[in-house]
Amino acid sequence: MTPALLAGLAGFAALGFAAAPVAPEAAVDPKPGEGAEAQAAPVPRPRDVSYYRDGFEQTVRPLTRACDLPTLIRRLSGNPREAANVDASDQVRLPSTWWQPRVGFRVVTADDMLRGPGPGTGPAPGKWRVAKAKTRGVSAGFQIKDAQGTRFAIKFDVPKYPELTTGAEVVATYLYWAAGYNVPDNVIVTFRREDLEIAPDAKYDDPLKGNIPMSEEFLDKVLAKAARNPDGSYRAVASRFLRGKPLGEFEYSGRRKDDPEDLIAHQHRRELRGLWTINSWIHHDDCSARNTLDMWVLDGGRSFVRHYLIDFNGTLGAASIDKHSDRSGTEYLLDYGVAARSLATLGLVPYRWEAAVDPELPSIGFIESRRFDPKGWRPFLPNPAFDERTLRDIRWGARIVAGFKEELIRAAVKQARYSDPRAEDYLVRVLLERRDKIVHRWLGATAPTAARTDP
């Protein structure tokens, strides 16, 4: 078996996903004594969603769904099942541990947004102690403690696409926060090799030798996979560890039954169904369960599960260690509808994406607006909550997208610190144009949106 074949098989077995996320292994919230009731609350059991299993399940699910009688009856009768957590004015019932009304519902300034996910300061000045390296997945990374003992996950770009993944991760972080979702505090940082030291107990998981102590040589190998700035320093995303106890991913269907506050099957939650519209705007096509995280937090005097979206390295033009493929957003990993159409036409009818133009900006990757289809956008894998979306869910998401003014978008894009000014301008323009297409398609030409108030 050739290495190329093996690599291909490995990639295919992983269903072509972007790298597995660096799990934010947060410790239990250190703030003690916020009430006996909080301390006594039962902690749901942590779980780990298998990436491969989820990929297989979501790939097969469209087939079973196509044969599902109730779904067919609902479709024929024009009676879709609406989201279960909306009120009479069709808005998400609050409070929610999933989502908070921000853009589209309240006034959010650029300052609000930049302060939202966290301090946004990155690691404190001083040496970084490397505590653990990321060996799974395709992208390089490790975990550090800064001089004040705060823990961060550090993630890099690949040399072929400097600034691509890190830029996308940070921009998407702010946009998702402003859209109302819980996200980690991700910022761009720059450091040098000499800023790193290996913690005495630092280990990494070697595929053949198991968990072994980390060496300087190993660290150099990890850094060799990372893009460097012209001055030899490294650019990375520092992702601050979330406070609380990680409980693993949430799934886009079913419930976490050991969480007494999780009473609505996730596919019937408005915040998750409507996320489709926001994902289509930000082009987050790797929105599987693996890029989510439930945290057991102690906050406001009570312990509860807060639901996060994490790992945005598959957003905008980035696909982890690569740029998005030209066809991303137009078809699933295995898209039976596209296959059937191709078979029927012998492939002679061009796909919509085949006319899309690549901006040829390495730090942007592939995202565009001309061929963007706000109705037909699809993530890499089918998503159970998105499959249940109704017009009302989509319009709810469109209302949020419509609320993003250029000022807000530009402020988020600026956080990527692109060295090429064309990159910033291009990305802002594409996001504005995609926003306008979404607004026009789902809210109509008369919708009162930020789109019409932008200069």
Q: Which of 37, 68, 201, 258 binds other proteins (CB under 8 A)?
A: 68
Tell whether residue 445 is a contact of other proteins (CB under 8 A).
no
> Does the footprint of other proteins cover residue 150 (CB under 8 A)?
no
96/369 with CB nearer other proteins:
96
**Least separation, in Å, of the C-beta of 70 and other proteins?**
4
The interface with other proteins within residues 90-119 (CB under 8 A) comprises 91-98, 100-102, 105-106, 108, 112, 116
212: helix, strand or coil:
strand
| Overall size of the chain counted in residues | 455
431: CB partners within 8 A, 6+ apart: 281, 282, 404, 409, 413
Question: Binding to other proteins by residue 212, rule CB under 8 A?
Answer: no
Which listed range, 81-89, 119-127, 240-248, 404-412, lies at the site for other proteins (CB under 8 A)?
81-89
Q: Which of 53, 56, 58, 51 is nearest to 290 (CA)?
A: 51
Give yes or no for residue 14 binding other proteins (CB under 8 A).
yes
Could you say which residues in the range 188-207 bind other proteins, by CB under 8 A?
A: 205-207
Residue 2 is a binding residue for other proteins (CB under 8 A):
yes
Instruction: Report whether 308 contacts 275 (CB < 8 A).
Output: no
Radius of gyration in angstroms for the set of CA atoms belonging to the chain, rounded to a whole number: 22
For position 42 contacting other proteins by CB under 8 A, the verdict is no
The smaller minimum CB distance to other proteins, of residues 276 and 353, is found at 353
Q: Does 28 bind other proteins (CB under 8 A)?
A: no
In whole angstroms, what is the distance from residue 251 CA to residue 274 CA? 15
Q: Which is nearer to other proteins, 195 or 326 (CB)?
A: 326
Q: Footprint of other proteins on residues 303-342 (CB under 8 A)?
A: 304, 306, 325-327, 331, 333-335, 338-339, 342
Region from 189-197, 226-234, 248-256, 362-370 binding other proteins, contact rule CB under 8 A: 248-256
Binding other proteins (rule: CB under 8 A), the pick from 66, 84, 124, 212 is 84
Considering only residues 166 through 185, tell me which ones interact with other proteins, judged by CB under 8 A. Answer: 182
CA separation, residue 174 to residues 5, 103, 117, 167, 177 (Å): 39, 11, 7, 11, 5
Where are the strands (E) in 265-309, listed by range?
292-299, 302-309
The distance of closest approach from Cβ of residue 237 to other proteins in the complex, given in angstroms and rounded to an integer, is 21
If phi > 0 it is left, if psi is from -120 to 50 it is alpha, else beta; for residue 144 that is: beta
* C-alpha 58 chain-centroid distance: 17
CA 404 – CA 32 distance, rounded (Å): 39
> Are the beta carbons of 425 and 380 closer than 8 angstroms?
no
Q: Which of 25, 299, 406, 407 binds other proteins (CB under 8 A)?
A: 299
- Closest contact distance (angstroms) between CB of 354 and other proteins is 4
Quote the Cα angle for 354-426-238, to 5°.
105
Closest to other proteins by CB, 101 or 120: 101
